[in-house]
Amino acid sequence: MNVEILAFGIAKDIVKGASFQLDLPAEATVGVLKQQLCSTYPDFERLASFAIAVNEAYRQDDFALNEKDEIVIIPPVSGG
């Protein structure tokens, strides 16, 4: 399945854009998506952490994805 992904902060810099598409297996989960992101964009492995939101809610690695989901990469946040 082909999914559209939105990126913010450092994630936007890693993928070189605010949104991009990624091809995933039909039965993909958030965990599969994270693995694919790290494989396609190795700089994600250097982040201390990053979260995935699907349809405006943070999701765990076992959450099943659908092609029409709104998927957002939430990079680590620091304050000051």
User: Which pTM was predicted?
Assistant: 0.91
Q: Are strands 2-7 and 71-74 parallel, antiparallel or unpaired?
A: parallel
Q: Which residue has the tokens 């994600």?
A: 44
Res 78: pLDDT: 65
**CATH architecture for segment(s) 2-74:** Roll (3.10)
Reading the block at residue 29, the tokens are 């989960």
Band (pLDDT 50/70/90 cuts) for residue 41 is very high
**Pair 41, 34: CB distance under 8 Å:** no
DSSP state of 44: G
**Pair 38, 32: CB distance under 8 Å:** no
Domain boundaries, the chain: 2-74
pLDDT surpasses 60 at 80: no
